[in-house]
């Protein structure tokens, strides 16, 4: 009898997440009931938002329940179906969680074309991270030709798409990434005009040198020193899409803001959560799929092997060890 490996939240982290916060269990593979679908997962997505859900502090989403399977995006194949919308062998994307199989009533499952685009891309550039990039860049920053857009975590799942969309819109794209390898990739593969290494001892001076015309748009994923440095270089009427603050998720203090400069430069700052904008997802996904299929949007993945590797891979991602979209290969 095949079993379903599952990872549960055992207890909440008090400071940094550790593998001990999770528990691995084996359970029987579930049988789909009337109207339900059984999905065998091929890939699990690991995302920074999961760190927030480990805490029970009030937030925009419900906390992860203790003793329950960790939530998360998955792609996989329909293995059994009692739902007329899905047939055996369909490639689907959904929220199957940190487990090898899941049963769903189909409400949050979407059939995808895994022939022209690899199935795992639906967890990356043609999935939630891609839509996040699309929304923040187009609806908040809205770059004009010739403007300069700065992107932090520039080679990550979200940032890599932001930089490429900014270039397609005719803007200059300046990335901030951790280390020379990520910066070289940002320039040569993702098309950033310049990439500044936030680990460099001369980071602040290098940012100033990279931004002689100032900053018109900032797509903020990280917080901390890169944010504070870019903020000092804002042009009048710059726009900031506050997408994430990953530097603070595992305990570090959030950056200080100089409100006065936001006033005198008339800066627009807008935080957003991509799931608030579900009506725009079909438009964004169609555009992103077109760019990916045509090779105009390129992407990179870090793939951990086997569900058991998920906790370590998740902790590594929170420390910036991933290079591109962090996935776990399950089948």
Local structure of residue 56 (DSSP, 8 states) = -
CB of 30 vs ligand NAP, minimal distance in Å = 29
Q: Considering the rule CB under 6 A, would residue 155 count as an interface residue with ligand NAP?
A: yes
Joined together, the tokens standing for residue 135 give 């929304």
CB of 7 vs ligand NAP, minimal distance in Å = 19
Region binding ligand NAP by CB under 6 A among candidate stretches 23-31, 115-123, 230-238, 241-249: 241-249
Q: Which of 192, 10, 39 is nearest to 109 (CA)?
A: 39
Q: Which of 77, 140, 145 is nearest to 330 (CA)?
A: 77
Q: Considering the rule CB under 6 A, would residue 288 count as an interface residue with ligand NAP?
A: no
For tokens 């798409």, the residue is 161
Q: What's the burial of 188, exposed, middle or buried (CB within 10 Å: 0-12/13-18/19+)? A: exposed
**DSSP letters spanning 173-210:** EEEEESSHHHHHHHHHTT--SEEEETTSTTHHHHHHHH
Q: Considering the rule CB under 6 A, would residue 61 count as an interface residue with ligand NAP?
A: no
The single residue among 78, 91, 158, 174 that binds ligand NAP, judged by CB under 6 A, is 158
Q: What H or E segment, with its residue span, contains residue 254?
A: none
**CA–CA separation, 207 vs 18, rounded Å?**
34
The single residue among 47, 90, 216, 287 that binds ligand NAP, judged by CB under 6 A, is 47
Nearer to ligand NAP, 106 or 125 (CB): 125
**CA–CA separation, 29 vs 294, rounded Å?**
38
Taking CB under 6 A as the rule, which mask of x and - marks residues 200-239 in contact with ligand NAP?
---------------------xx-x---------------
CB of 85 vs ligand NAP, minimal distance in Å = 27
The single residue among 72, 96, 97, 156 that binds ligand NAP, judged by CB under 6 A, is 156
Q: Considering the rule CB under 6 A, would residue 164 count as an interface residue with ligand NAP?
A: no
Q: Considering the rule CB under 6 A, would residue 138 count as an interface residue with ligand NAP?
A: no
Interior CA angle at 78 toward 74 and 79, to 5°?
120
Local structure of residue 16 (DSSP, 8 states) = S
CB of 229 vs ligand NAP, minimal distance in Å = 13
Region binding ligand NAP by CB under 6 A among candidate stretches 62-70, 79-87, 138-146, 269-277: 269-277
Q: Which of 151, 189, 166, 171 is nearest to 295 (CA)?
A: 189
**CA–CA separation, 280 vs 293, rounded Å?**
20
Nearer to ligand NAP, 78 or 137 (CB): 137
Question: How many residues line the site for ligand NAP (CB under 6 A)?
Answer: 31
The single residue among 106, 125, 127, 178 that binds ligand NAP, judged by CB under 6 A, is 178
CB of 252 vs ligand NAP, minimal distance in Å = 7
The single residue among 4, 9, 40, 48 that binds ligand NAP, judged by CB under 6 A, is 48
**DSSP letters spanning 88-100:** TT-EEEE---SBS
Length of the chain, in residues? 331
Q: Considering the rule CB under 6 A, would residue 42 count as an interface residue with ligand NAP?
A: no
User: In the complex, which residues of this chain contact ligand NAP (CB under 6 A)?
Assistant: 47-49, 129, 132, 153, 155-159, 177-178, 182, 198, 221-222, 224, 243-244, 246-247, 272-274, 317-320, 322, 325
């Amino acid at each position: 009898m095949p079993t379903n490996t599952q990872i549960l939240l055992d207890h909440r982290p008090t400071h940094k997440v550790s593998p001990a916060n999770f528990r691995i269990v084996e359970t029987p593979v579930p049988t789909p009931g009337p109207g339900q679908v059984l999905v065998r997962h091929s890939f699990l997505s690991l995302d920074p938002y999961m760190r927030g859900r480990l805490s029970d502090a009030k937030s925009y989403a419900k906390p992860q329940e203790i003793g329950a399977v960790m939530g998360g995006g998955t792609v996989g194949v329909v293995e059994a179906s009692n739902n007329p919308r899905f047939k055996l062998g369909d490639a689907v994307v959904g929220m199957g969680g940190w487990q090898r199989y899941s049963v769903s009533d189909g409400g949050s499952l979407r059939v995808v074309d895994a022939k022209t685009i690899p199935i795992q891309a639906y967890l990356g550039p043609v999935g939630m991270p891609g839509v996040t990039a699309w929304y923040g860049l187009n609806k908040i920053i809205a770059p004009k030709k010739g403007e300069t857009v700065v992107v932090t975590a520039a080679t990550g799942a979200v940032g890599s798409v932001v930089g490429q969309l900014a270039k397609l819109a005719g803007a200059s794209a300046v990335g901030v990434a951790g280390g020379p390898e990520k910066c070289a990739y940002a320039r040569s593969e993702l098309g950033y005009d310049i990439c500044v290494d936030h680990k460099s001892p001369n980071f602040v001076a290098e940012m100033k040198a990279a931004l002689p015309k100032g900053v018109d748009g900032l797509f903020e994923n990280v917080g901390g020193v890169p944010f504070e440095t870019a903020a000092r270089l804002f042009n009048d009427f710059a726009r900031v899409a506050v997408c994430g603050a990953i530097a603070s998720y595992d305990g570090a203090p959030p950056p200080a803001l100089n409100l006065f400069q936001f006033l005198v430069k008339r800066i627009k700052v807008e935080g957003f959560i991509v799931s608030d904008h579900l009506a725009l997802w079909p438009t964004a996904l169609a555009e992103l799929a077109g760019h990916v299929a045509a090779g105009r949007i390129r992407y990179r993945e870090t793939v951990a092997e086997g569900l058991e590797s998920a906790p370590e891979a998740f902790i590594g991602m929170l420390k910036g060890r991933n290079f591109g979209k962090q996935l776990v290969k399950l089948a």
